[in-house]
Amino acid sequence: MIELSPAALERVYSAVDDLRGLHSELCEPRLTWDGLRRVLIREGVLVASVPLGRPAKLLPFEGMAVMLLDNSRRARHLWYAAHEFGHWKLHASDDLYERCYHMDDILGDDPKEHEADLFAELLMYGPQR
């Protein structure tokens, strides 16, 4: 299991709870791709599937974001998008470069990656988890 500080856990759970209050899609037992896309649109995140050479990338811009997903990894788009959405909600005030890049080896042990993973898990598997 991921080791996160109590404060980090609280931040992630609380961010997900807040989103569940806003988006009924996140209250379903299992998140769907269509559901997440609707949530992302309402949250100001545009999603594009493109040849990328990495799983995903988030480009924040003036309070909105473009989320790029690698089109050769379609089967895992839901997970990558949920993870990037986590960076967007949890780390949007942090350093631009850290929140722009996903799954760089150099960032493998960054607690932010674990926070985004937990956020994605909570979104994917619904409120009962």
Q: Which residues contact 104 (CB under 8 A, 6 or more apart)?
A: 54
How many residues form the binding site for Zn ion (CB under 5 A)?
3
Q: Which of 39-47, 61-69, 92-100, 115-123 is the region at the interface with Zn ion (rule: CB under 5 A)?
A: 115-123
Q: Are 96 and 60 in contact (CB under 8 A)?
A: yes
Shortest CB 40 distance to Zn ion, Å: 16
If one asks whether residue 45 binds Zn ion (CB under 5 A), the answer comes out as no
Q: Are 51 and 34 in contact (CB under 8 A)?
A: no
Picking from 44, 51, 56, the residue whose alpha carbon sits closest to that of residue 120 is: 56
Interacting positions 85-104 with Zn ion (CB under 5 A)? 102
Q: Which of 12, 47, 81, 116 binds Zn ion (CB under 5 A)?
A: 116
* Binding residues vs Zn ion (CB under 5 A): 102, 113, 116
